[in-house]
Every structure is written in structure tokens, then in C-alpha cells.
Amino acid sequence: MIIDGQESVTPAVLAELKRAPDARLREIMSALVRHLHDFAREVRLTEAEFERACAYIAALGHKTTASHNEVVLMAGSLGFSTLICLLNNGNNGQTETAANMLGPFWRLNAPHTENGGSIVRSPTPGPALFMNGEVRDQAGRPIEGVEIDVWHSSPEGFYENQDDKQADMNLRGKFVTDKDGRFGFRSVKPAGYPIPIDGPVGEFIRAQGRHHYRPAHLHFLFYMPGFKTLISQVYVNDDPRLDSDVQFGVTRALVGNYVRHNGPAPAADVKGEWYSLDYRFVMEPGKERLPRAPIQ
Ligand SMILES: [Fe+2]
């Protein structure tokens, strides 16, 4: 169609979209066009700024590889990942949830580990951590047989795949809940870590004068047929960056009570300070679904 002036562009695009046979595509893209055009009008986007925006989006793609996704990093840095998570969990945003971002470091095929076993697979200095978890349904009943993936960074802030000093699958394990819905493991207390800032996301972070760290956390993925797969992170309560996570992941529900101890530990070889964490996860009914592993 022939465009009469700036005010006729939006209706022209929406009229074409109306013809798309896929109803959901029509809904999503029509809303996107309305908001995008309104956004340009609101900020009076200049031609130079538009060129810069296009180059920026292209750079997000160019920076993305098989083991690094700059687009996902940007979504987190805009709070978009957390928004999508909270809109789709906790009874669609109505109640508290343990759901959180998957992050870029989940791997398939973590070693099966007995409950109470250690996921420290090569010498990893740092205070011992004993985690005891339980998994319940929304009525508070324990769920037996839930498969749980656990993964986290070292006390130096590196995942095993980023660190030559760590054995393959160090600080990763797969557990199954017992008849009381319980699981547990021994590890070391994780540390916070920086996100990569050598690409367009770094440029954006620097432009705001922000730090580029995530507070320390454990990652969990709970898989059980008949339940919505629960992806979670439990953050360390004494991390100084708890309220300034560069990826906006920390929710009140996910600040864990990591208790510091300085006496006899659950394992005789632990001397000095150690930590414990107890946490109850609630799974919602729904469809089980494994996400695509971000790294192989
Ligand atoms: Fe992480």
C-alpha cells in the first residue's frame, strides 16, 4: 500500500499482519509493531540512533557462538528473562515461586550422585557446604522420584567448563528425591562471578555505570513427569551484590538461608567454618519439558 504520512505507517503494517493465518503470530507481532512504533514516536528516535540500534542488534548476533549467547545475556541485562519467568510461574505470576533463569551453564549428563554424596570431583578450596532440599507439590505433599540437576560456580567464581583447574563435571550432580521428597549433597560454598563484558552487553552495562557481577548462587533443575519443570537458583544471603545482580535474577523467595557454622560438621574431615542450606522447593502441576542445554 501507499503510505500517506507518518500516522499511516502503523495501520498499514497491522493491516498486513491481520492476514497471517497463525493466530498467535498475529497477536504477538501486531502488539510488537504497535509498541515499537509508539516507542519510536515517544523517544523521537533519530536516523542516527536507528542506525546505531540496528548495528547493536547485529552485534549481539555476531558475538553469539555455540558456547556463548549474547542475546540471552542482553535479555537478562534488561530484566526481560526474569519478567518472562515470573509471568509464567507461580500460577502465572499470582503467587511466590522458586522459578528462576536457567543461565548459560547447564550441561546434560551430570553424574548421578547418591543423596548426601559430594559433587566436589577435584580439589576445590573453599568452605564446605551441606545442602538439604525437599520437593513438595502445591498441597505440601512430598514428591518422590524427582530428578534434580545441581550445578554451581567454584569459590573462585568459575564453572568447571571455564576453568582448567577443575575436573570435568566438578560441582555438578544429578540426584533423585527419596520417599519424603528429600535430597541433599555436599559441596563448597559458591562465589559470585562476572558476566562477559567484551561485547555489546558490556557496552550497555558500562553506559549505566553498573558493576557486571551476579551474586553467588546454586542452580537447580527439577524434572518430574506431571509437573512443570522447575528451574531455580538459590542465592547466598551474605553476598554483597545480592541487591544489585546484573541480571536481575534475585527474588525474595530465592534468598537462601546459608548458615555459617564453626563447630563439628556433618563430615569428620571438615575443619573450621562450614555452611548449611535447607530449602523447600514447590513444583506446580504441568508439563515436563527439558530446556535446550546452552553448552554441550
Ligand atoms: Fe550461575
pLDDT confidence bin for 66, thresholds 50/70/90: confident
Per-residue cell: 232: 531455580
At 112 the three-state DSSP class reads: strand
pLDDT higher than 80, residue 295: no
CA–centroid distance, 144 to ligand 1, in Å, is: 26
CA–centroid distance, 237 to ligand 1, in Å, is: 15
CA–centroid distance, 61 to ligand 1, in Å, is: 22
CA–centroid distance, 18 to ligand 1, in Å, is: 41
CA–centroid distance, 14 to ligand 1, in Å, is: 40
pLDDT at 294: 80
Per-residue cell: 156: 573462585
CA–centroid distance, 26 to ligand 1, in Å, is: 35
- Please compute the mean of the pLDDT values over residues 189-202 and round it to a whole number: 96
Per-residue cell: 259: 548458615
pLDDT at 107: 94
3-state helix, strand, coil in the chain (%, to 5): 30, 20, 50
Residue type at position 227: F
Please give the Cα distance from 158 to 193 (Å, whole number): 7
CA–centroid distance, 20 to ligand 1, in Å, is: 39
CA–centroid distance, 265 to ligand 1, in Å, is: 26
pLDDT confidence bin for 37, thresholds 50/70/90: very high
Let me know: does 213 contact 236? Beta carbons within 8 Å.
Answer: no
Count CB-CB contacts under 10 A for residue 219.
23
Percent of the chain with pLDDT over 90: 95
pLDDT higher than 90, residue 296: no
Among candidate residues 160, 158, 155, the one with its CA nearest the CA of residue 170? 160
Q: How far is CA 44 from CA 36, 55, 58, 204, in A?
A: 12, 19, 22, 20
Each residue of 115-137: pLDDT tens digit?
999 999 999 999 999 999 999 99
CA–centroid distance, 203 to ligand 1, in Å, is: 21
Residue type at position 183: F
- Please compute the mean of the pLDDT values over residues 37-55 and round it to a whole number: 98
Each residue of 200-231: pLDDT tens digit?
999 999 999 999 999 999 999 999 999 999 99
Determine which of 63-67, 164-168, 212-216, 226-230 has the lowest per-residue pLDDT on average.
Answer: 63-67
pLDDT at 238: 96
At 76 the three-state DSSP class reads: helix
pLDDT confidence bin for 244, thresholds 50/70/90: very high
CA–centroid distance, 159 to ligand 1, in Å, is: 8
Per-residue cell: 205: 552495562
pLDDT at 1: 86
Q: How does the average pLDDT of the chain come out, rounded?
A: 96
CA–centroid distance, 213 to ligand 1, in Å, is: 10
Each residue of 247-285: pLDDT tens digit?
999 999 999 999 999 999 999 999 999 999 999 999 999
Among candidate residues 90, 186, 185, 183, the one with its CA nearest the CA of residue 134? 183
Which string of DSSP letters, residue by residue, matches 130-161?
A: EEEEEEE-TTS-B-TT-EEEEEE--TTS--GG
Percent of the chain with pLDDT over 70: 100
How many angstroms separate the most distant Cα atoms in the chain?
80
CA–centroid distance, 105 to ligand 1, in Å, is: 7
Let me know: does 228 contact 284? Beta carbons within 8 Å.
Answer: yes
Higher pLDDT among residues 47 and 296, named by residue:
47
- Please compute the mean of the pLDDT values over residues 233-238 and round it to a whole number: 98
pLDDT at 285: 96
Let me know: does 209 contact 224? Beta carbons within 8 Å.
Answer: no
- Please compute the mean of the pLDDT values over residues 71-95 and round it to a whole number: 95
Please give the Cα distance from 154 to 170 (Å, whole number): 9
pLDDT at 259: 98
pLDDT at 68: 86
